[in-house]
């Protein structure tokens, strides 16, 4: 509760991005932190929650696989995949309620924010309940006649799918009811609820199996936890928006919410094709073995997107709240871009530097040999694409979901053709090249869209660029040395640490502005004082 109480004392006033620590009262903490600090803090909360969930899954999954059995585990994975693909049936209202709710909160309009939440919930519940009903009715023919699952799993799979449909509706409700937390950037509260529920259901799964349960028991746990999570989100949001439990529908909001959500859903459906097409083509042109090599490389490269995605989730409500303050919005936009550029380069260097030995140790020599080159190509695309989460978030805050959807639709056919040709001729490496080329082009389109729709300039981004180039070169040299010289793992780790330290020193002394160094130092000082105060 200490973190939440401190957050409640933070002013919403936008400053120059620096921490305003009191010099004359060193024993008092000043929580009047700028929007940049709040976004950074929120992003790290989300990232930490993702890490906790991944760790719990890493520990629990082997037990679930062994106790449940390969076939039943495959059914569980299939049900999760099916429910995941149906996420579009909320009509994008989870994102829409955050965007429009943040707009109302920026105006100090609690009544308007409440109307946004309940109207979004009304729009999303219709198709979500219909989807759940259809799944319940067709569960048996879907399991038996379409998916052709083993006969001994039919009954369990049908019950599990019907239970999962209930959990799906609960997640739709939670995705709207968490709006007051997101628009106020209360990511500590938001992450605690989501991560707590994820970890609980992950850890309870092997316990249920040890007690004699099966596929139905695991699905029941997930469903119950999803329902409880939705209730907790509602209770927590009620503390932030006192009128939340008083339903209020504003029919005038239906059209703008639906228009915004339509762009989100179209983008979601197209992107599902864009990010999975190469996997199907690899299996079609080559083999599932080649697909396995590519999938491992793709999974490892995708880890680099964790921080940009976390930052984007915080930036959408932050940008929405700053729409009426062009100068502060521009400052946050540039700082977010600079921060993304400074962070993604060393992260990519670590992945590339340790890729081959890690893959060899983790997945075997075959993966170390076959997955490393596709990984390098995918990392290049991810590296260039990472900053584009900032203009994407700004366009979402402006309500330009239709523009984003048109961009994705325009990429679909050329990408599929390019992907087919490159995959056919060059296999996994060709697929990786086509994928990276697409997301680089997508990044350029997003930056161009922001430039065309505003007077925002990225010139401040180029400040002290020679120092950044020197820092990048030092990282590239490290990767090339590790790649070309056979070294002991301990020595490779030492080289990576030394290179990262050198990169940090160059960035601190040559790239960061004086106010940025003061801001970072102030953040450290604030938290150090907080630790001492609690001690």
**Strands, E assignment, 297-437:** none
Maximum average pLDDT range among 101-115, 321-335, 345-359, 505-519? 101-115
pLDDT band, very low/low/confident/very high, at 29 (cuts 50, 70, 90): very low
Q: Could you tell me if residue 241 is left (phi over 0), alpha (psi between -120 and 50 degrees) or otherwise beta?
A: beta
DSSP secondary structure letter of residue 26:
T
pLDDT digits (tens, 9 = 90+) for 496-515: 788 788 888 887 777 777 77
pLDDT band, very low/low/confident/very high, at 532 (cuts 50, 70, 90): low
Q: What is the pLDDT of residue 468?
A: 76
Collect all residues with Cβ–Cβ distance below 8 Å to 252 and sequence separation of at least 6: none
CA nearest to 169, candidates 204, 139, 205, 133: 133
Q: What is the pLDDT of residue 461?
A: 62
Query: In whole angstroms, what separates CA 333 from the centre of its chain?
Result: 19
Q: What is the pLDDT of residue 457?
A: 67
Checking if the pLDDT of 240 tops 50, the result is yes
| DSSP conformation letters of 235-295 | HHHHHHSTTTTS----GGGHHHHHHHHHHHHHHHHHHHHHTTHHHHHHHHHS-HHHHHHHH
Q: In angstroms, what is the C-alpha Rg of the chain? A: 24
pLDDT band, very low/low/confident/very high, at 459 (cuts 50, 70, 90): low
Buried b (16+ CB within 10 A) or exposed e, 168-202: bbbbbbbbbbbbbbbbbbbbbbbbbbbbbbbbbbb
Domain boundaries, the chain: 33-258
CA nearest to 197, candidates 189, 206, 207, 208: 189
Cα–Cα distance for residue pair 77/99, rounded to 1 Å: 32
0.85 exceeded by the pTM?
no
For 523, the token pair is: 């953040």
pLDDT digits (tens, 9 = 90+) for 355-414: 777 788 766 788 788 888 999 999 999 988 988 999 999 999 898 988 999 999 999 999
pLDDT band, very low/low/confident/very high, at 444 (cuts 50, 70, 90): very high
Q: What is the pLDDT of residue 458?
A: 65
């Amino acid at each position: 509760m200490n973190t939440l109480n401190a957050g409640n004392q933070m002013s919403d006033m936008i400053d120059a991005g620096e921490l305003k620590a009191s010099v004359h009262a060193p024993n008092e903490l000043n929580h009047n932190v700028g929007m940049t600090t709040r976004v950074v803090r929120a992003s790290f909360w989300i990232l930490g929650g993702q890490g906790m969930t991944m760790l719990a899954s890493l520990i629990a999954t082997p037990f679930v696989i062994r106790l449940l059995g390969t076939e039943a585990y495959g059914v569980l994975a299939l049900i999760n995949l099916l429910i995941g693909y149906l996420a579009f049936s909320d009509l994008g209202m989870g994102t829409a309620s955050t965007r429009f709710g943040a707009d109302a909160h920026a105006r100090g309009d609690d009544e308007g924010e409440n109307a946004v939440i309940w109207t979004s919930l009304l729009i999303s519940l219709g198709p979500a309940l219909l989807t759940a009903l259809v799944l319940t009715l067709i569960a048996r023919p879907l399991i038996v006649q379409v998916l052709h699952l083993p006969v001994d799993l039919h009954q369990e799979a049908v019950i599990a799918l019907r239970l999962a449909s209930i959990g799906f509706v609960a997640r739709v409700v939670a995705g709207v009811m968490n709006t007051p937390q997101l628009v106020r950037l209360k990511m500590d509260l938001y992450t605690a609820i989501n991560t707590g529920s994820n970890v609980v259901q992950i850890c309870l799964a092997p316990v249920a199996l040890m007690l004699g349960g099966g596929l139905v028991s695991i699905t029941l746990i997930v469903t119950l936890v999803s329902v409880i999570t939705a209730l907790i989100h509602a209770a927590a949001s009620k503390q932030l928006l006192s009128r939340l439990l008083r339903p209020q529908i504003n029919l005038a909001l239906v059209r703008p919410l639906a228009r915004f959500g339509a762009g989100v859903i179209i983008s979601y459906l197209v992107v599902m094709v864009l990010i999975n097409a190469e996997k199907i083509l690899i299996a079609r042109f080559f083999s599932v073995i080649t697909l396995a090599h590519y999938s491992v490389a793709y999974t490892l490269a995708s880890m680099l997107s964790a921080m940009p995605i976390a930052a984007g989730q915080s930036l959408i409500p932050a940008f929405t709240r700053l729409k009426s303050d062009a100068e502060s919005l521009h400052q946050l936009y540039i700082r977010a871009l600079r921060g993304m550029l400074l962070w993604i380069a060393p992260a990519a260097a670590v992945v590339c530097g340790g890729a081959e030995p890690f893959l060899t140790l983790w997945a075997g020599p075959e993966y170390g040999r076959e997955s490393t080159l596709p990984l390098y190509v995918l990392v290049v695309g991810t590296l260039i694409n990472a900053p584009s989460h900032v203009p994407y978030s700004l366009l979402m805050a402006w309500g330009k979901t239709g523009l984003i959807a048109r961009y994705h639709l325009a990429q679909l056919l050329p990408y599929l053709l390019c992907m087919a040709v490159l995959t056919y001729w060059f296999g996994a490496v060709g697929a990786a090249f086509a994928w990276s080329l697409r997301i680089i082009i997508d990044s350029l389109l997003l930056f161009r869209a922001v430039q065309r729709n505003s007077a925002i300039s990225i010139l401040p981004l180029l400040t002290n660029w020679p120092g950044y180039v020197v820092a990048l070169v030092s990282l590239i040299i490290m990767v090339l040395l590790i790649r070309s010289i056979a070294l002991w793992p301990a020595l490779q780790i030492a080289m990576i640490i030394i290179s990262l330290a050198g990169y940090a020193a160059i960035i601190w002394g040559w790239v960061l502005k004086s106010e940025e160094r003061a801001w970072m130092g102030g953040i450290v000082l604030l938290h150090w004082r907080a630790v001492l105060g609690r001690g």
